[in-house]
Amino acid sequence: MQSNTIKGVTTVAQLAINKMIELEVPADPINYMVWFHYFADSYPDLKRTIDVLLDNNQVFDAEQCAKIYDQYFSLNTESAVLDNVSTNMEQVIRQAVKYLDEAGSNAADFGVVLSGASGELAGQSVPDGATEIIAGVLNATKQMEERSKVQEERLAAAASEVATLRNEIEVTRKEAATDGLTGIANRKSFDIKLRDTAARMMEDGEEMCLLMMDIDYFKKFNDNHGHQSGDQVLQLLAHILKDCIKGQDTAARYGGEEFCVILPHTTLKSAVHLAESIRERVARQQINNKATGEDLGAITLSIGVSKYDFGEPLSQVVARADTALYAAKNRGRNQVISEEAVGS
């Protein structure tokens, strides 16, 4: 038997399979062996025999293929070995397919499965041709694995870069929407949140209210105790607001010492009640200079409350809250005034 170095084992195997399908040859290991060697040109006599049969339009049924196999391959020992090899290869393929299904077609794992199976086959006595098939498949698989590893490494690197970029974008986005001193939403973020919340409340048919508040005599506090102490007060108020509001509410620094809270799913009465709770909690706080421990006294808030009317310009709900805020200041500060109480 002439021994050929088979190049392109995958191509030869595909040609054999295609011809078997074309001629309706039963798909079994013996028939596959015959047709693989026909296209691999491993046995010149075998090839001539099949060519003659093809020219005479012979039917390649199981019986015909068995005769060809018996003629060109040993019947006993090699048949037994072939059966064993075929069984092992089938088990390898099934195991690999199962593993691919479980591992999401991971080429590296596929290579591990086949490499382990090849170790089992290496110790067996196999007929010529079967060894070449196995070697070719393993070689092709190794190449596929190596290429896949490179691709996986590239994909992993790309995924890592994308994740890093996504994180950087998210950090930048949060920074752009956050007040640097207090850590709550800034004015730009407030405008967006107010718009989005109003649209959602209109769609849901739910009420939305707005609190606007200002620290009483804050300029005087800054002048007396310095801007660092003033910053400390702003941070304290932001902390209290975050602690008092619930999940969908939004606290924001509107500008300077002015703060806002957007309250979706909230009635005017409930909004006033929350505003009173915030005002009382702030008034109870004793401010101490962090650096010196000096007692700086207490601060108070004036708060205005308005309710959003569906479809109105958002500037109007802000204006009514602002009007109520200044009404609270004009009435002595350290109090809450709702839009309904402005004219009373």
Phi, psi angles (nearest 5°) of residue 212: -125, 130
Of 257, 276, 312, 339, which residue is the catalytic one? 257
d(CA 190, CA 198): 12
Residue 257 among the catalytic residues: yes
CB 128 within 8 A of CB 1: yes
d(CA 103, CA 182): 48
Contacts 24+ apart (CB under 8 A), 135-141: 135/9, 136/6, 136/9, 136/10, 136/12, 136/13, 137/9, 137/10, 137/13, 138/114, 139/9, 140/9, 140/10, 141/110, 141/111, 141/114
CB 116 within 8 A of CB 145: no
d(CA 199, CA 21): 63
CB 230 within 8 A of CB 221: yes
Phi, psi angles (nearest 5°) of residue 94: -60, -45
Q: Which residues are the active-site residues? A: 257
